[in-house]
Structure 1
Amino acid sequence: MDSKKYRFETLQIHAGLQPDEPTGARGVAIYPTAAYRFKNCDHAARLFELSEGGNIYTRLQNPTTTAYEQRIAALYGAVGALAVSSGMSAILIAVLSLAAEGDNIVASPFLYGGTYNQFRTSLRRLGIDCRIAPSERPEDFEALIDGRTKALYAESMGNPTCAVPDLEALGSLARRRDVPLIVDNTFGAAGYLCNPFEWGASIVVDSATKWINGHGTAMGGVIVDGGSYNWANGKFPQIDGPSEGYHGLNFHEAFGPAAFIVKCRVDGLRDLGCCPSPFDSYLMMIGLETLSLRVKHQVESTWKLAEYCRSHPKVERVSFVGFDTHPSHENARKYYRYGSSAVFTVELKGTLESTVRFVESLRLAANMTMIGDSITVVTHPASTTHKQLSDADLAAAGVTPTLLRISLGLENADDLIEDFEQAFSQIG
């Protein structure tokens, strides 16, 4: 289908669907196969030298996953997408496709804890320096850029503080300094709430486990290539130069605007092996069909629960980008549909112990490390997602002992308010 003609709600259902002529089946088929028969040896050779597209091995490509990737690309208006086994592997492949030993990336201070550890620990062991800017102001990013900087990195909404950067300003900086801007758009819900490509991002990564799947039934991540970056600027010989793994093939010359996403597939997936199961890709496709409906309901419920928490005497403060008291309120209004997401944080009055007691008293809301699920999740970041950070890093990320991150599910908001009320009654 011509995705340019249709709006998000239509694309989330129709993009990637190819009618099955022999059976007339409406849905996407699940192909539980590891390998594929070649027509002949010449056909196999063309596939392996990348002169012809097609299926070789499910580590690289699978028909179910291809349909899912096409849908994601259509939702973002991108040249291509790559599905991987988790959000963390999406980040890793994206960065390793750009940076090598001696290179660096410049990142926002408001990062998911797992991303922070990957950048500061795992990438450092590979000789890649991750420079954390002191703020998300473009001038603080720019002060850390040098001739070996291969990317700028930010989250469209920080986890767990919900800080929203000035994406347009970061995009302008990236263009002026001629480096790609990578945006983790997990909170942007596959482009429905926020599409960073509209503001200057070159690459988007998502944890598809969250709002894309929407039901907590599968792990996955995606890398999305906007197709707008000029890879022939001399900074990326691994893309616009002879490839060691493909007999000197130049990805930029061979694949044009899709050069980056092709490299992520044929080098990243080939070497790291973090491919998704076709069963998980199918579950992602099913989740996408209702994404806009789910997210709209979740955002509406977030407003109700956040208002309740703001007026509760046992709550010290509520941090919700929908409120004009949030420092990112204006950016959220600019970059996010509805001016918010389905996540907010609260700091309770009291101590670490009373905060833990509140969480453990909840009956509907689940104590898990998850967002974007069909059930409401309350997470204590200091004990979970950010547990590995030092006290100084916790303070810089805005994580305190009484901070809770709340991700709204699909329940009735009034039932959630009643659940919170009974939990508050347990902490005196």
Structure 2
Amino acid sequence: MTLTNPLGKPYGPARTLWPDLLEATAHLDPPYAVLDLAAVRTNAHQLVSRAAGKPIRIASKSIRVRSVIRDALEVPGMSGILAYTLPEALWLAEEHDDVVVGYPTMHREALRRLAKDEELASRITLMVDSPEHLDLTAEIVGPGGPPIRICLELDASLRLAGGRVHLGARRSPVHSPAAAADLAQKVVAHPRFELVGVMAYEGQIAGMGDNQPGLKRFAVRAMQSSSAAELAERRAAAVAAVRAVAPLEFVNGGGTGSLELTTAEDAVTELAAGSGLFAPRLFDFYTRFRPQPAAYFVLSVVRRPSPQHATVLGGGWIASGAAGKDRLPTPVWPEGLSLVDQEGAGEVQTPLVGDRVDELGIGDHVWFRHTKAGELCEHVDELHLIDDGRIVDVVPTYRGEGKTFL
């Protein structure tokens, strides 16, 4: 499998040819998951183009397949991994030399392993956002051993009305440049820690489409414009304040949905993205870019409870986030199918309706898209990689390798 273009030229739009996908997988028994490599290649090129010269750190939570992460890092313009747990980072760091843990950890066994292994400690960077993280981590790792690399997380949310209105993910409590500098001072005061980076993830921009149906899109666009301007100024000031305390190797920002905005900030040295490779349903609602759907899962019809309904086995592959219809999987082939409002996507069965439901018989396959990216791979042991109308490889997911980090 390769995601790079040997000619160094941009890929044109990937065209998902349903007959090729259907024929390539017709012999498989659902449930199974498919990755269209032509679409992945197009998406990888688009991500790099939107980053405009700044490196993209691969968000592993959005992939959860080691071989795909490995191949993505071969794409010029992609470098390093943003992991989601320290046990995962330790596993990935066995073959990769630049892994930042994007969330704070209190996993004692993993911290002790990191603390006594000089090579792993040189490859992995921990995330902190409070003195409590620092103190507890210092207590766990002890005084002796290799330095522990630390990245500070700056809150990227938009706060209005004196903080009474909070727009964005509730992540770090460190919001102001002064708070960032204060925490940086506490890091360098610990003899075991080395401050190397700053991160800020603007989820209210990167993870929220600005072209959603209805009038909501206009409110989202106004919020994102205001937030981007506020964050650019505050992030620059915070980075300058931290650099006055210690030199930094990197400043990470952005996500799949905000690459072209975040890369314009001089203070940011690298970006983060991962979902854009798979292009789940979440990314159908952006004006700034249009990725190619690449990841699917397939279920089989096992019931015809009425002429107006076909029911597939399974289907309750619900995306995380605030519960709602936008977290449900979407049937995409045959076209014209939809979920039933009263049942949605069920744990063991999912009824479907639509103009073409009468074409479905017992044993037929229905293709779905997941709302988010990496969570798809928590439901399957392997991905079937399709290129040129055939299965070119079958690769294990984290789950297929016996890993369930969260």
Structure that is richer in strand per residue: 2
TM-score strictly above 0.5: no
Structure number with greater CO (CA < 8 Å, separation at least 6) is 2
- TM-score, length-normalised on structure 2? 0.30
